[in-house]
Amino acid sequence: MRLRDVMTHSVYALQPTQSVEEAIRFFIKHGVKGAPVVEKGKVVGLVSEKDIFRALYPSITEFYNNPELWMEEAELEGNAKLIAAKSVKDIMTRAVVSAPPDTPIMQAGAMMLAHRVHRIVVLESGRLLGIATRSDVFKNVFKKFIG
């Protein structure tokens, strides 16, 4: 089985200039947890709920250096408003893991583990064809064994 067999073909994409708030609304509206970021027809990044959470919450070092700042609910809510106003390009992951549509799904699963990602952008000649999530690969790897 290949990525072309399991990927989502109708991909929802964002633009780098859209706000994080728009991305959040987009995720909710389309029932997705991440999307490619496309500029002039080229994938320039990927943004996910994880990227938004990383922007919202402190790193371990930031937390331990100043834990009292991160205990204040009002401070955290204020931080959420600031993050929502940022552009997608400010928080997106630029190192996008991609593969061609004929990639075996076992290889795609290994790529996801190696790169610690939950989705692979499927490209052909630089053109966005689809997206495959860890769930897409997982369900299909075991499909023929468990029915």
The predicted structure's pLDDT at residue 70:
59
pLDDT digits (tens, 9 = 90+) for 30-44: 999 999 999 998 999
- For the cut 80, the answer to whether the pLDDT of residue 129 exceeds it is yes
Residue 116: DSSP 8-state: T
Residue 51: CB atoms within 10 Å:
19
pLDDT band at 6 (very low <50, low <70, confident <90, very high): very high
Segments in 1-72 forming alpha helices (H): 3-6, 20-30, 49-56, 60-65
pLDDT class of 1 with cuts at 50, 70, 90: very high
User: For 6-10, 60-64, 92-96, which range has the lowest pLDDT when averaged over its residues?
Assistant: 60-64
pLDDT per residue as tens digits for the range 74-95: 666 777 788 888 999 999 999 9
Q: Judge whether 146 and 31 are in contact, CB under 8 Å.
A: no
List the single range of 57-61, 97-101, 117-121 with lowest mean pLDDT.
57-61
List phi, psi (to 5°) of 97.
-85, 120
- C-alpha 80/C-alpha 78 separation (Å) is 5
147 vs 5, 17, 140, CA distance in Å?
17, 44, 10
**What H or E segment, with its residue span, contains residue 32?**
none
| pLDDT > 70 in the chain, percent | 87
Q: For position 58, what pLDDT does the model report? A: 64
